[in-house]
Amino acid sequence: MKLLNTDNYFWQGKKVRLRAVRQTDWELHYQESTDSEGVRLMQWGIELPESPGMAKAFAEKFVDFKDTSTHIMFSIETLSGELAGGINIHSRNQKHGTFSFGIRVARPYRRKGYAEEALRILLRYAFYEQRFQKANSGCVDINEGSIRLHKKVGFIEEGRQRRSIYTNGRYHDQILFGLTREEFEENERVC
């Protein structure tokens, strides 16, 4: 369904919009579970194969924001309405004002700027509407796309946990990133 007036819509950028998870989103989630290299980079290893029922249960849990206790899950869609991936806020700590996020863009939609724009929308929501003051994140050292994304949005590499991830027969470092609200604002001005 196309939105009627999106000129000043908070959840939309020039390429994508964030929306609630729909029950039908399970199909892309299931398709992407066959991208073993993508799964390895996101989940830091290969998991047991997913079934359509597991993908449907995942979508059902988060459909229409009905369970935000651990994650606030959004679907990423193109402006023409094609489902392109998902993004979420998790590990929220109200006392310290910190959170983390997860993002996945489906194979046909990668390297088109969708992840960056979706992440910027999510960060605006977290910093300006939810009062968080810092985003913490991490990725495995072989995830070049994630490293580029973090740096492009303004994240600072804060450290490494050496040899803390084992996948594909090798040990890898976890790169730790952080982004304060002020650093994000500065990055937004530059971009």
Tokens of 24: 């039908």
Q: What is the pLDDT of residues 91-116, one digit of tens each?
A: 999 999 999 999 999 999 999 999 99
169: left (phi over 0), alpha (psi -120 to 50) or beta: left
Specify the pLDDT at position 7: 74
Q: What residues of the chain score a pLDDT lower than 70?
A: 1-6
Amino acid at 103: I
Specify the pLDDT at position 4: 61
User: Angle CA(166)–CA(167)–CA(173) in degrees, nearest 5?
Assistant: 50
How far is residue 99's CA from residue 92's CA, in Å, rounded to a whole number? 4
Specify the pLDDT at position 156: 98
Give the residue from 143, 123, 121 showing the smallest Cα distance to 45.
143
What is the enclosing helix (H) or strand (E) of 19? strand 16-20
Give the residue from 117, 122, 115, 118 showing the smallest Cα distance to 99.
122
Specify the pLDDT at position 63: 95
Specify the pLDDT at position 130: 97
Q: Beta-strand (E) ranges in 44-180? A: 71-78, 83-93, 98-105, 134-140, 156-167, 170-180
Q: What is the value of pTM for the model shown? A: 0.94
Taking a C-beta distance cutoff of 8 angstroms, is the pair 88, 68 a contact? no
The CATH number that domain 16-190 falls under is: 3.40.630.30
User: Angle CA(35)–CA(38)–CA(39) in degrees, nearest 5?
Assistant: 85
Give the residue from 20, 7, 9, 22 showing the smallest Cα distance to 121.
9
Place of tokens 């194969």: 49
- Computed on alpha carbons and rounded to an integer, the radius of gyration of the chain in Å comes to 16
Q: Is 137 exposed, middle or buried, given 0-12, 13-18 or 19+ CB atoms closer than 10 A?
A: buried
Taking a C-beta distance cutoff of 8 angstroms, is the pair 173, 141 a contact? yes
Specify the pLDDT at position 22: 97
